[in-house]
Amino acid sequence: MSAAKKGHKRAVVAKLGQERLITLLVAPHVSEKAARVAESANQYVFRVRTDATKPEIRAAVELMFKVEVEAVQVVNVGGKVKRFGRFTGRRPDWKKAYVSLKAGQTIDLAGTAQA
């Protein structure tokens, strides 16, 4: 990686602030599709804040997991309309991010220690 790119990444982290980056990733999204994508395409799926942007998500993943991110795709998921008896309500909208890592990089979401 060139020195210019490293300097740019440090500038992004400094500009955004580590507090915001740490709160950006809400949780890993666990589903059959997420597991299949993790195995085949080296992508990880995270539930993120609705106001998160792609550069912020990239910086947050690189900061928290110490990996190099290749690309980020985001999906805005609309909340479902649900009923409880005669009352209707709506679940909140949310955003998920598909994070592609560079070759040879992995994230241990289970948190298992390696001996």
Return all residues near 25 (Cβ < 8 A) that are at least 6 apart.
46, 47, 48, 57, 60, 61, 64
Surface-to-core class of residue 72, CB atoms within 10 Å of its CB (0-12 exposed, 13-18 middle, 19+ buried): buried
Q: Which of 11-15, 47-51, 70-74, 96-100 has the lowest mean pLDDT?
A: 11-15
The yes-or-no verdict on residue 15 having pLDDT over 80 is: no
Instruction: Please write the tens of the pLDDT for every residue from 64-86.
Output: 999 999 999 999 999 999 999 99
DSSP 8-state class, residue 108: -
Pick the CATH number of 3-101 from 3.40.50.720, 3.90.1150.10, 3.30.70.330, 3.30.410.10: 3.30.70.330
Domain ranges of the chain: 3-101
Does the reported pTM lie above 0.85?
no
Number of continuous H segments (helices) and E segments (strands) in the chain: 4, 6
